[in-house]
Chains A and B, each alone.
Chain A
Amino acid sequence: SYKLTQPPSVSVSPGQTARITCSGDALPNKYGYWYQQKPGQAPVLVMYKDSERPSGIPERFSGSSSGTTVTLTISGVQAEDEADYYCQSSDSSGTYWVFGGGTKLTVL
C-alpha cells in the first residue's frame, strides 16, 4: 500500500528554522497536508494543499512542494511549536488517504 516517509525527528534551537520533509511517489500529482499534534491533544491542521495556511495558524508556518517531496517550514521556531508533525496525502487514484509516520520536533 501507499506510504509517505518522514524523518523521525528534527531538532532546532529557538528562533531557528525547522524544515520537515515528507516523500511519496504520488505527491507530484496529489496535494500534501500537515497536522500538528501536541501530547494528549487531537491533531490540528496547519497546512493544506501544499502551501495554504488555515486561519489561525501563525505566519511562521509555510509549506512547499517539489517533485515527490512536500516540506513544512517553521521560521523563527518557538518553544510552543514543539510537537509531532504528520504529513498526509492520498494515493494516486485518490481513493484513500494516508499519513506519514510523523516527525517529532524538539525545540532545544
Chain B
Amino acid sequence: EVQLVQSGAEVKQPGQSLKISCKGSGYDFTTSWIGWVRQMPGKGLEWMGIIYPRDSDTRYSPSFQGQVTISADKSISTAYLQWSGLKAADTAIYYCARRGQTAGDSFDMWGRGTMVTVSS
C-alpha cells in the first residue's frame, strides 16, 4: 500500500527540541519530493518546506526559514521535521505530504498528521 506514516503525538515544554518523522512506503521514496504543512488549532494550512530525498535538496517557505529543519534519510525512506527550541506557538498538527509525479506542484498523498503540543 502506498502511504506516508507519521510518528505519534508529542507533548513538549517550551525550549525543548523535537524531531518528528514521516516514513514512505509502497513507492520509490527517493524520487518524490516530501513536504511539511502546519495547521494550527482551528486555522488553515501553511506550507513549510519541501525536500527531495535523493539528494536532500531542500526549500523553505520564507515564514519558516531558520525556524525549523527539514531532513531525510533515503536509506530508511523517512523524512524529518525538527525544532531546536520549541515555543507555545509551535502547537499544531504537522502533516507530511508527497509531491506526486503527474499532478504538478501539488501534494497527491498525505500522512495522517502529527499533533505537537508545546506547553509548560
Contact = CB atoms under 8 A, between A and B. Distances in A.
Interface residues of A, number: 28
Nearest to A89: B105
A1 to B, nearest CB: 5
Contact of A97 (B95, B105, B111, B113): B105
Contacts, number: 70
A30 B44 CA distance: 21
Chain B interface mostly: strand
Interface in A57-108: 84, 86, 88-90, 94-102
Given A99-B47, A102-B45, A42 B35 contact: no
Contact of A96 (B44, B47, B104, B108): B47
Interface residues of B, number: 25
A101 B45 CA distance: 7
A96 B59 contact: yes
Contact of A45 (B35, B46, B103, B111): B103
A54 B63 CA distance: 30
